[in-house]
Amino acid sequence: MSGLQLLSEHRCFGGFQRFYRHDSREIGLPMQFAVYLPPQAEQGAVPVLVYLAGLTCTEETATIKAGAQQWAAQHGLALVMPDTSPRGANLPGDSDSWDFGVGAGFYVDATEQPWAAHYRMESYVVRELPELLKTLPLDVSRMGICGHSMGGHGALTLALKYPGVFRSVSAFAPIAAPGRCPWGQKAFAGYLGEDREVWKRHDASELMAQARNPFPEGILIDQGLADKFLAEQLYPEAFEAACAKAGQPLTLRRHAGYDHGYYFIQSFMADHVVHHAGVLSK
Ligand SMILES: N[C@@H](CCC(=O)N[C@@H](CSC=O)C(=O)NCC(=O)O)C(=O)O
């Protein structure tokens, strides 16, 4: 018994788009996630690309808007799209703002009260989800991770913290230095407390500055230059500098005219799937 409840299944590019619900051990509440199984999964276990979405999103957002399934079908990659926070905890203030609490779990394990009991998105993504995925035709020894904005922060930090879990990493417009930006400072103070040394353990630019070329096949980041959040919230240049210091190959592409939304993500999704498929097929 996997404990997974299949909520819906839809034919999509020769494979299946599925939505699951389960009682989460780490979160202590029911959680939902989306899985795209490409046609190749009918022949055997396929590699997995985990996609972490941004603030205000659910497991459905990128499933509907990112246009990733067509490329995943071509390259034989499964897509796993989790939710962005616990839901139903009903903690005081958890729905007062769109950048903290519900829809804004920031992919960390909270240590502060009242968040610590349920806001455990790091352990959920890194430990519980792979165990659940083993019950599907998925090869969790070949997993990559990608994400957007808050999810880009999640993808970069979880890849850097758990290189044994994720073999490839990429991001769209990631919050690349959360310790320096209002979104990150608010989330880290709320979930982790005021100690900035603790924040550094969850900050992609700080983690990368201490690393030594952990992803020799490179990291891919796309960033729109018409992104309204770029100057105040994202700091790709901090991650770029940290990669240079660490000897980490980075392809950081800056695109004139593209904003922060899913039209931008759709435009470059094929390249991200190719990036991950190239690493995970070896
Ligand atoms: N409500 C906000 C906008 C919220 C927003 O733009 N969310 C982004 C992620 S931002 C960083 O994590 C997102 O992906 N939204 C979903 C979508 O469908 O675009 C505001 O008022 O500005």
Task: Give the closest residue (by CA) to ligand 1 atom 19.
Answer: 261
Which listed residue (75, 168, 227, 272) is catalytic? 227
Q: Where are the beta strands (DSSP E) in the chain?
A: 5-12, 15-23, 30-37, 46-52, 78-82, 138-148, 168-172, 219-224, 250-255
For the question of residue 255 being annotated catalytic, the response is no
Q: Candidates 51, 52, 57: which one to mutate for ligand 1, based on the most atoms within 8 Å of Cβ?
A: 57
* 227: annotated active-site residue: yes
Spatial strand order of the sheet with 78-82 comes to: 5-12, 15-23, 30-37, 78-82, 46-52, 138-148, 168-172, 219-224, 250-255
Residues 266-281 have a mean pLDDT of: 98
Given 260, 272, 275, 276, the catalytic residue: 260
Mean pLDDT of 166-170: 98
Ligand 1 atom 7 nearest Cα: 55
Q: Determine if ligand 1 sits within 6 Å of the CB of residue 233.
A: no
Task: Write down the architecture of domain 5-281 according to CATH.
Answer: 3-Layer(aba) Sandwich (3.40)
- pLDDT band at 212; cut points 50, 70, 90: confident
How many angstroms separate the CA atoms of 253 and 276, rounded? Answer: 16
Report which protein residue has its CA nearest ligand 1's atom 21: 98
The answer on pLDDT for 282 being more than 90 is no
Annotated domain spans of the chain: 5-281
260 annotated active-site: yes
Residue 263, ligand 1, Cβ within 6 A:
no
> Is 0.95 surpassed by the pTM of this model?
yes
The overall average pLDDT reported for the chain is 98
Assign 49 a pLDDT band (cuts: 50, 70, 90). very high
pLDDT (mean) for 252-279:
98
**Among the listed residues 119, 138, 170, the one whose alpha carbon sits nearest the alpha carbon of residue 278:** 170
Give residue-wise pLDDT tens across range 62-116.
999 999 999 999 999 999 999 999 999 999 999 999 999 999 999 999 999 999 9
Which two tokens mark 253?
């592409």
